[in-house]
Amino acid sequence: MTTPPALSTSGPETAATAVDREIQWLRISPWIAMHLGCLLVFVVGWSPVAVAVAVALYFVRMFAITAFYHRYFSHRTFNLSRPVQFLAGVLGASAAQRGPLWWAAHHRGHHRSSDETGDPHSPHVHGIFWSHMGWFTTKSAWVTDLDRVRDFAKFPELVWLDKHDRIVPLLLVIALAITGYVLQVVAPGLGTDALQMVVWGFCISTTVLFHFTACVNSAGHLFGRRVWPTKDRSRNSMLLALVTLGEGWHNNHHWCPGTVRQGFRWWQIDVTFYVLAMMSWVGLVSGIRPLPDRVRAKP
């Protein structure tokens, strides 16, 4: 295991390393409400169907974040047709992690200055709380830097989706409420209703999804093994890889961010890569970037 490189920006935050920390409470009020909505589980209880929907939506949307928001929009490690590209953006937007252009622009900035002063995700520079969820609550973080995503900003449908990023999550909430109501009427034996379906299918599922996604950049730079001598402090974690469908191989990713596969070895489980490979068999995905030669050598 290699020794992580020394960071000149580590230690107490100074004026030179300070970031915008003025939290926009009104803007993040829906995000806070989503977390508080999880407490309604003590009111609505649970049912097998509601829990199953929550789990299914977790994995489907985690795949959308890892495959499309991250590996496609952020790194362009494979190709999609324009219609599939838009559908990928819609599916990713349902995770309530803002729009695809906003997400990709911030992630490209993270790679540009990983674990340095310009990286708001770095727990070594700004602390684990800020790197995990504080960074996106500020006014400066709220804006999409279109200069960083010019390759996708040329598509008006993606710009529209990014600008109106709350529409898709709202439609998901409405769909869950309608589904719960219909099931309550036609199949009362299932023990679910509109509010229970929203609490489990959206509030709980989306909250867990957000925090596991955020762990990649916070815990993923603190815990696990460093295999490759990257300039940052990214680490590999099997546990994080399992719950994020392959994103836990974070040190691998920072070593070769331009390859679609993040589990470099056969035992490094990368579910997202497996699904993308199967999608390529039926023509939904093309141009998958293979592992470069420097990955095949021993670190």
Domain that holds residue 50: 29-224
Task: Give residue 299's pLDDT.
Answer: 57
- Do residues 180 and 192 touch, judged by C-beta distance below 8 A? yes
Please check whether residue 280 lies inside any domain of the structure: no
Please check whether residue 193 lies inside any domain of the structure: yes
Please check whether residue 241 lies inside any domain of the structure: no
pLDDT along the chain (299 residues), means of 10: 38 45 89 97 97 98 98 98 98 98 94 85 87 89 93 98 97 98 97 98 98 94 93 95 97 94 95 98 96 75
Tell me how many domains the chain contains: 1
How far is it, in rounded angstroms, from Cα 103 to Cα 87? 16
Burial (CB count within 10 angstroms: exposed 0-12, middle 13-18, buried 19+), residue 106: buried
Please check whether residue 17 lies inside any domain of the structure: no
Burial (CB count within 10 angstroms: exposed 0-12, middle 13-18, buried 19+), residue 111: middle
Please check whether residue 4 lies inside any domain of the structure: no
Task: Give residue 194's pLDDT.
Answer: 98
* Full-model pTM: 0.91
Q: At what angle do helices 48-63 and 271-281 cross, to 10 degrees?
A: 80
Please check whether residue 64 lies inside any domain of the structure: yes
